[in-house]
Amino acid sequence: MPPKNRLWKRTLLSFLVSFFLLYLFLSKANLGEMIRSMKKVDPFFILLAFLSHYLSYFLRGYRWKRMIQEAGFSGRTFDLAKIIFLFQSLNCILPAKLGDVYGAHLMKINFRLSRSFSLGSIFLWRVFDFVIVVVFAMGTAFLLFGNKIPSDLFFAMKVVGPCLLGLLLVIWLFFHYHKWFPMVHRLEKFRGLIESFREGLRIKRRDIPFILITTTIIWFLEAGRFYFICKSASLDVHLIPVLFITSSAAFLTAIPLTPSGLGAVELSMLKLLEFLGVGNPVAYPLIIWDRIIAHWSQVLLGAVLLLFSRSIKLKIWEFQEEKVPSSQKDEMVKQS
């Protein structure tokens, strides 16, 4: 079966799973009451929630620029923010974060950076995201529940913690002992790709504090989205519960069976709010508004960005390989 057909079938399957999960999510809702509650929100705070979410993309672009600036990157922070926004929008449609691969392609055709190098750098800042989200989720859970953490949540923490340590160990082994990996010795082409991907994982020690701080601010902005949504519904909330909800639900966006955790995130947020004593009548409008901003508006605005890609000087597709200027060769990894 051609790869394109497989992709469409997987995408269709992911949406079927998502719609089933959304059906489970909405099955206990009073739709009339939910819609009335959604209409009663303060639009000013909804606007602030939008701004908090989308402002994070400029910070993500700034972080990424710092990570790849020594690899011959010639663009601006705004250019990277556009690229991140576009492939994150694609992740809201495709399963397993396949949009990241398209992001690497965008870096190739717009800035002549190797796809495998760019994919390595994307993977690296996702690892930083994962580290901060785990710290936020576990830290806030202990602050909220102490030694009375709900059993379902405690089980999730016992799974996520070792997974994070295992991921960091694999990255360390791959970076320092990548020649142990069998694929390197099979084909010359794989050796070049792996070396390029490894270069994307390279980061200077002096940049680590900056990236950790930037990533922390990014997730505070994401938490700000949910905070302002709660304020729009005149719900008195504090920072710790908001960080707990936002960071815990973020894990579900990585579920490979659904696009950006569609359906799974909604169900998990309903359960997380239940842990905090927020019942269904209040929880549903909060979750729906949060997903409108973080998921559905992303899909819509991503489509708009694609339509006006020429106006904003962003190449969105190109198959031919481009030669790298000799002045950049020493600063860039081997072309994939």
Would you give per-residue pLDDT tens digits along the chain (336 residues)? Answer: 446 677 778 888 888 999 999 999 999 899 999 999 999 999 999 999 999 999 999 999 999 999 998 887 888 999 999 999 999 999 999 888 889 999 999 999 999 999 999 999 999 999 999 999 999 999 999 999 998 888 888 788 778 878 878 878 877 777 666 556 655 555 566 777 878 888 898 888 899 999 999 999 999 999 999 999 999 999 988 999 999 999 999 877 766 678 888 999 999 999 999 999 998 899 999 999 999 999 999 999 999 999 998 888 888 887 544 444 444 444 444 444
Beta carbons of 126 and 210 less than 8 angstroms apart: no
Residue 16 domain-assigned (yes or no)? no
Residue 86 domain-assigned (yes or no)? yes
88-117: string of b/e by CB count within 10 Å (b at 16+)? bbbbbbbbbbbbbbbbbbbbbbbbbbbbbb
Which residues fall within 8 angstroms of residue 67, CB to CB, at 6 or more apart?
121, 124, 125, 203, 207, 211
Query: How far apart, in whole angstroms, are the C-alpha atoms of residue 127 and residue 131?
Result: 6
Q: What is the pLDDT of residue 153?
A: 82
Beta carbons of 224 and 245 less than 8 angstroms apart: no
CA distances from 174 to 87, 131, 162, 190, 195 (A): 26, 18, 18, 14, 10
Counting the structural domains of the chain, the total is 1
Range of the domain at 181: 31-316
Query: How far apart, in whole angstroms, are the C-alpha atoms of residue 124 and residue 104?
Result: 13
Residue 22 domain-assigned (yes or no)? no
Residue 276 domain-assigned (yes or no)? yes
Query: How far apart, in whole angstroms, are the C-alpha atoms of residue 34 and residue 15?
Result: 24
Residue 213 domain-assigned (yes or no)? yes
Residue 263 domain-assigned (yes or no)? yes
Beta carbons of 18 and 258 less than 8 angstroms apart: yes
Residue 207 domain-assigned (yes or no)? yes
Angle at 87 between CA 210 and CA 14, to 5 degrees: 120
Q: What is the pLDDT of residue 216?
A: 97
Residue 130 domain-assigned (yes or no)? yes
Angle at 92 between CA 2 and CA 262, to 5 degrees: 105
Q: What is the pLDDT of residue 198?
A: 85
Question: Rg of the Cα trace of the chain?
Answer: 21
